[in-house]
Amino acid sequence: MNRLGLKIEKVKAIFISHEHADHIRGVEVTSRKHKIPVYITKKTLNNSGLRIDEDLVRSFASLEQVNVGGLAIKPFSKNHDAVDPFSFVVSGNSVNIGVFTDIGSSCEHLKKHFSTCHAAFLEANYDEDMLMNGHYPAYLKKRISGRDGHLSNMQALELFLKHKPHFMSLVLLSHLSKENNKPEIAHSLFSKHAGETEIVVASRYEESKLYTIKAGESAAISSQLSSEQLSLF
């Protein structure tokens, strides 16, 4: 955030999608140090081992909207091998942004909410050939490619092709496997079919640029927000 010129004071809440270590590491310290509320379901909290200050814990439920400042966050359950996993759509100023990662397969909730988004973080975790021909043990390959594992490039593309709304201006391909995918593979696959939608691969090594999403218009790189824009980084 510092490198993007964003202050931690802008963060008004932390939403936990599931309890896997790569999604909760650092939450305790960040929340405590900056007094940031953590939205987490009871099942996930109990299964996470997190020790969050009691007065900073907030709960949420599937399909029940949570309002934080001027934003509305709608959580919905997803297919993933965690105790109570969720995806989210964040809305403000007539703009919807989806956070769709760590998903084993596309359920009806995902299809429905993807079709409402002006921009989205979309998991494209693995290339099927790289996974199947790679060095991972058989049980791990099965877990990754299973119903509750992760979306492959092709599964993500299928969702994109079948359910992308005409007004979707930006997709950040996210959660790419270091071992079983390559940014150029995922980007090339989507770019062939993207049309007016900008395709960006989110790096695992550095922050993405700051984007401004306008309702009904193309995405533009910017750090200046108007009342009809929503920041995405």
Domain ranges of the chain: 61-232
Burial of 163 (0-12, 13-18, 19+ CB in 10 A): middle
Q: For residues 132 and 180, is the Cβ–Cβ distance under 8 A? A: no
Q: For residues 190 and 214, is the Cβ–Cβ distance under 8 A? A: no
Flag whether the pTM goes above 0.75: yes
Q: Which two tokens stand for residue 47?
A: 């299964």
pLDDT tens track, the chain, 233 positions: 888 999 999 999 999 999 999 889 999 999 999 999 999 999 999 999 999 999 999 999 999 999 999 999 999 999 999 999 999 999 999 999 999 999 999 999 999 999 999 999 999 999 999 999 999 999 999 999 999 999 999 999 999 999 999 999 999 999 999 999 999 999 999 999 999 999 999 998 899 999 999 986 544 434 343 333 444 43
Distance CA 173, CA 7 (A): 25
Q: Is 158 helix (H, G, I), strand (E, B) or coil?
A: helix
Which residues are within 8 A (CB) of 75 and not within 5 positions of it... i.e. 6 or more apart? 15, 60, 61, 62, 63, 64, 66, 86, 87, 88
Q: Is 66 helix (H, G, I), strand (E, B) or coil?
A: strand
Q: What's the confidence (pLDDT) of residue 23?
A: 86
CA dihedral 51, 57, 62, 66 (to 10 degrees): -150
User: Looking at the domain 61-232, which fold is it?
Assistant: Metallo-beta-lactamase; Chain A (3.60.15)
